[in-house]
Structure 1
Amino acid sequence: MNTRLTPQEREQLYSLIREKLELSGEECPEEIENSTMVRELPGVDSMKLFRLLGAIELGFQVNLGFEAIPQVETVEDIERLICESREQYAARAS
């Protein structure tokens, strides 16, 4: 059971967060980390969060569903949701 993303996948996740939440310029945190509170990032609103989760589904080929939205507080929560979705798919496939 793999409950962590690889370093490359983690960087992909951080890149999607910067892109979909439109984080750039001076107000963007220099470093996004697992403990970063997603909803407290500059300019985050429900539509940006929704677009982010959609991009994560496509980029990581997972199904998070609408129930993921209230579960996301930190970047680590997103990573956990990705890994849980992969585990559920693996369980159904076996």
Structure 2
Amino acid sequence: MNTQLSPQERERLYSLIREKLDLGGAECPEEINHTTIVRELPGVDSMKLLRLLGAVELGFQVNLGFEAVVQVRTVRDIERLICASREQYAARRIPSVGGRP
């Protein structure tokens, strides 16, 4: 399973995180990266996290599921969830041999 985003997708994810968690100003002392602990970012609460994950689903065209909320600790966890969703979708799309399901 590919558990990494391309550099462009990763930057898009970081931008989405800054936007949805309102981290554009000086109150965010660190740059977002894969080791950033999402719940420790300034002002993050459960509703903002839900909105972020919903935006990730729309922006990356994936289905993370409700369990994603408890699985996300770091930004890397969000990346893994995106890649896992893509893998699940791809596995369902592979045609069967001989035309049988």
Aligned to 1:92: 92
How many matched pairs?
Answer: 94
Aligned to 2:42: 42
Aligned to 1:83: 83
Partners of 1:3 and 1:29 lie apart in 2 by: 27
Instruction: Specify the SS of the correspondent of 1:66.
Output: coil
Q: CA RMSD in A?
A: 0.9
| Structure with greater Cα Rg | 2
Partners of 2:29 and 2:63 lie apart in 1 by: 28
In structure 1, list runs of 5 or more residues that go unmatched.
none
Once the two structures are superposed, the pairs formed by residues 1-94 of structure 1 within 5 Å of their partners are: 1-94=1-94
Partners of 1:11 and 1:64 lie apart in 2 by: 19
Residue 26 of structure 1: how far off its partner (Å) = 1.7
In structure 2, list runs of 5 or more residues that go unmatched.
95-101
Partners of 1:16 and 1:29 lie apart in 2 by: 17
Q: Any runs of at least 4 consecutive aligned residues in structure 1 with deviations exceeding 4 A, and if so which? A: none
Residues 40-68 of structure 1, C-alpha deviation per residue, up to 9 Å, x if partnerless?
A: 00000001000000000000000001110
Structure 1 letter corresponding to 2:57:
E
Partners of 2:3 and 2:86 lie apart in 1 by: 9
